[in-house]
Structure 1
Amino acid sequence: MQDFTTVTRLITRKNALDQSRIAQERRSLVPAAGEVILKIDRCALTTNNITYAAYGNSMNYWGFFPAGEEGWGHIPAWGFADVIASTVTGIEVGERFYGYFPLASHLWMRPERVTERGFYDGAAHRLGLTSAYNQYTRCGWDTYYRPETENLQILLKPLFLTSSMLADFLQDNRFFEATRLVFSSASSKTAYGTAVCLENYPQLERVALTSAGNKAFVENLGCYERVVSYAELATLAGDRPTLYVDFSGDLDLRDRVHRHFAGQLVYSCFAGSAQSTDEARLTAIEGPQPVFFFAPIQIRKRNAEWGPEGVSQHIGEGLLRFVRQVTAREKPLLEVIESRGYEAAQSVISRLFHGQVPPVEGHVIRL
């Protein structure tokens, strides 16, 4: 193997997410003691990545892969990578891993807690960060891994993990006594993934709030009992206990929802920011104050109660069902668009930032 390589990475201006540039440097491919080098093969880009960047400071998402330049950062993305060099017992050259990566050609890592399942990156700068994002899964161990559906896995697994854990959180709390759930940005994959996870609760009415342009798409999903546009919010009767699941992050919309349902609004769950790149604000003009849902907290709870294997089984089996639902139709609900290179990634990120990617599209970048 050659001793040096050119490392390519896409770095983004932290205060202007549609501005990025390609940076290159030469680095040795000889790993230090306790180090592995992974060659990143492919990553998914969704609105979720824009959320990571938008909350990069408040939730320290920029901290996972420091860019080394003031004001610039790596937008994290979920993907697959192959080990090309290793000095770590239990991690072999050629093994493939799923996990959290920068948009870059290579990543140097310091594995700890190495098991059959995979490892955690013990790099010093990641020690204080959320451990769920530091875990890398060995594809050879994962019984739910399918080589032929890698693109679907990296597009849907991170989003469905949130969907599955959010649905579990709501069930765990008996839906806060609500009989109606209202989802904003209902066309987002995380929103309708949550709705799908709650399909066996006939006492619940799942209501989709979406843009007029996405209304037909959302109606075709088949996982909501009712679909209304944002302009039609007032047509929803305030006649039952209602829980708002906010995937939009739109503060004006949140206030409209809170005002409309008034005393019938029993809980306001802030779950995402598909329509806003502003820092998260847990405020509302009236009614219950929004509560931020963070999937790793529910995972930690279930790890203690079910064990990690139980949690993996719960998410893995649910994901397989969700993938079948998304792809089994004559006209699939997700069109995978695979592109190659950093220029393609720049274009997709800009379109995502400006809300120009239709909900049916799922973008994968080969690096």
Structure 2
Amino acid sequence: MTDSPAITRLLTPKADLGAALIETIPAPAAAPGSIRLRLDRFALTTNNITYAAFGEAMRYWDFFPTGRPDHGHMPVWGFAEVEASDVDGIAPGERFYGYFPIATRIVMQPGRVTERGFYDQAEHRLPLVSAYNQYTRCTADPVWSPALENAQMLIRPLFITSFVLADYLADNGWFGAARLVISSASAKTAYGAAFCLAGLADRPELIGLTSRANRGFTEALGLYDRVVTYDELDGIAADRPTTYVDFSGDDGLRARVHGHFGPGLVHDCLVGSAANTAPLDRTLAAGAALPGPAPVMFFAPVQIRKRNADWGGAEFTRRFNLDQTRFMTAATTGGDPWIRIEEARGLGAAARIIRALHDGSADPRAGHVVLPAAGSEPV
């Protein structure tokens, strides 16, 4: 493989997850058995802020080392094209979907190459969760189409969590709850879970918690039985067993939920961190000090492994693809879609989107897609 051109990358200061450092560095030396990919486009959502917030505890920072101890690579989902290859079965010009750093290019060491795709088997990635190391060859992906790439990379990484979370709650009998209270209810992963839950028979009542600014949008989704703003929390009757499904990670809100529902709170499920970028261990420790159930971190790969064993991989994929197609259609079509896809160009634009997502000022309807190579100027 020939030497690669320079790489422009966006790094996240671990002390300020809404900030960004954009720099251009020499490409790593080309090694036998490696490929070079050019990142063509990627999605940015609050899910990426969660990756950063949980970067140490869940080892998300470890996937793409930066060489800077105080800065990490915020992972994103996107599409990349092979620029050069020294690997049999992977040709220049092929397109792959997967988990990438925010950078114009990346060098990988493929292994387990099949018609479906490959796994990056760089030594530092071998101990990490294998689902994030898998790259799908677009021509072998039954749900891929060029026209739907933006929708796919926005929705698929979020909706896999939504789908598996809904299954996890049902699989555990709702933890004995007759009500689910879902925070950050306007977030795409949260209402994706509500979408999966809404049509289930004998499900608990679904209450969406959101800000006053996002109340109208959240009600218009039509997925929650009730939408309640954060300042109205005390108006929810504490009259039945309740499971808290937390996409916000807000310590103050968690304390209010525990205090209000008291012994009626039967389970506290921590899914995301839209409103809290403190380290995960600090959030879990603060929650454990509260009366009632300690928060339990939901990790989708664990439930995926369980269902692959229960159903088989093919059946899991069939069920997921069916619901994903239904959700993608509901979310992106019609005169007033839930997700309005917005393309931006360059890593400078990516930095501005990250700041808005981190600060909670981003429009919940916006589905942000970044084309990194164009206008990758420092900010």
Tell me the TM-score normalised to structure 1 length. Answer: 0.96
- Could you say what secondary structure the match of 2:24 adopts? strand
Give matches, 1:175-254, under 5 Å: 175-203=174-202, 204-254=204-254
Distance 1:360 1:88, change over 3 A: same
- Do the aligned residues in 1 keep the contact of 2:13 with 2:71 (CA within 8 Å)? yes
Q: Distance in 2 between matches of 1:3 and 1:71?
A: 28
Match of 1:13 in 2: 13
Counterpart of 1:345?
A: 350
Letter of the structure 2 residue corresponding to residue 228 of structure 1: V
Task: Look up the match of 1:300.
Answer: 305
Residue 375 of structure 2 corresponds to none
Of the candidates 311, 314, 339, which is equivalent to residue 334 of structure 1? 339
Which residue of structure 1 lines up, in the alignment, with residue 261 of structure 2? 261
Match of residue 274 from structure 1: 274
Does the 8 Å CA contact 1:263/1:287 hold for their aligned counterparts?
A: yes
In structure 1, C-alpha distance between the alignment counterparts of 2:176 and 2:58, rounded to whole Å: 30
Describe the SS at the equivalent of 1:213.
Answer: coil
- Residues 196-238 of structure 1: CA distance to partner in whole angstroms, max 9, x if unpaired? 0012234321101111111111000100000111111111112
One-letter amino acid of the structure 1 residue matched with residue 263 of structure 2 = G
User: Partners of 1:34 and 1:316 in 2: how far apart?
Assistant: 33
How far 1:168 moved relative to its partner? 0.8
Aligned partners of 1:31 and 1:87 also within 8 Å: no
Q: Is the CA contact 2:3–2:30 (under 8 Å) kept in the aligned structure 1?
A: no
Q: Distance in 2 between matches of 1:199 and 1:4?
A: 49
Please say which of residues 134-143 and 84-93 is displaced more in the overlay. 84-93
Give runs of ≥4 in structure 1 deviating > 3 Å: 1-4
Does the Cα contact within 8 Å between 1:31 and 1:86 map onto a contact in 2? no
For residue 319 of structure 2, the aligned residue among 314, 319, 328 is: 314
What is the rounded CA distance, in whole Å, between the counterparts of 1:4 and 1:160 in structure 2?
A: 35
2:48 aligned residue? 49
Q: Deviations over 1:12-53 (max 9, x none)?
A: 21112233222213337x842211111110011111111111
How big is each residue's C-alpha offset from its partner over 1:87-130, in whole Å with a ceiling of 9 and x where there is no partner?
A: 22222221111110011111111111122221111001111111
Q: Which letter maps to 2:180?
A: L
Aligned pair partner of 1:366 in 366, 371, 377: 371
Q: How far off its partner does 1:146 sit?
A: 2.1
Tell me, in whole angstroms, the C-alpha distance in 2 between the residues paired with 1:251 and 1:26. 42
Of residues 195-204 and 155-164 in structure 1, the stretch that sits farther from structure 2 once superposed is 195-204
SS of match in other structure, 1:120: strand
Amino acid in the other structure paired with 2:244: Y
Other-structure match for 1:91: 90
Q: Deviations over 1:317-346 (max 9, x none)?
A: 211110111123321111111011111111
Any gaps of 5 or more consecutive residues in structure 2? 373-379
CA contact (8 A) 1:164 1:194 kept: yes
- What is the alpha-carbon distance in structure 1 between the residues aligned to residue 311 and residue 96 of structure 2? 24
Q: Which runs of 5+ in 1 are unaligned?
A: none
Assess, with a 3 A threshold, how the Cα gap between structure 1 residues 163 and 326 changes in structure 2: closer, same or farther.
same
Instruction: Tell me how far apart the structure 2 counterparts of residues 249 and 72 of structure 1 sit (CA, whole Å).
Output: 22
AA partner of residue 164 (structure 1): F
* Alignment-mate amino acid for residue 228 of structure 2: V
Measure the CA separation in 1 of the matches of 2:90 and 2:310.
Answer: 30
Q: Which amino acid aligns with 1:55?
A: F
C-alpha separation in 2, matches of 1:4 and 1:88:
16
Cα distance in 1 between the residues matched to 2:366 and 2:270: 24
Aligned length: 366
Residue identity in the other structure for 2:223: C
Which amino acid counterpart does residue 255 of structure 1 have in structure 2?
A
Identity %: 52
Shift of 1:177: 2.2
Distance, in Å, in 2 between the alignment partners of 1:184 and 1:20 is 27
Tell me the amino acid that sits aligned with residue 92 of structure 1. A
SS at match of 1:17: coil
Whether the 8 Å CA contact 1:42–1:366 is kept in 2: the answer is: yes
**CA distance in 2 between partners of 1:202 and 1:326 (Å):** 22
Equivalent residue in structure 2 for 1:286, among 283, 291, 300: 291
Report the more deviating stretch, 106-115 or 306-315.
Answer: 306-315
Structure 2 CA distance for partners of 1:180 and 1:22, relative to 1, 3 Å: same
Call closer, same or farther: CA 1:3–1:253 in 2, change over 3 Å.
closer
Look up the SS of the partner of 2:361 in the other structure: coil
8 Å Cα contact 2:274/2:358 also seen in 1: no
1:58-137 equivalent positions in 2, closer than 5 A: 58-137=57-136
Q: Find the aligned partners of 1:310 and 1:115 in 2 and give their Cα distance.
A: 20
**What is the TM-score when the length of structure 2 is the normalising length?**
0.93
Aligned to 2:376: none
State whether residues 186 and 217 of structure 2, in contact with CA within 8 Å, keep that contact through their aligned partners in structure 1: yes
Paired with 2:128 and 2:4, the residues of 1 have a C-alpha distance of 30
Separation in structure 1 between the aligned mates of residue 3 and residue 30 of structure 2, nearest angstrom? 10
Whole-angstrom distance in 2 between the partners of 1:113 and 1:4: 24
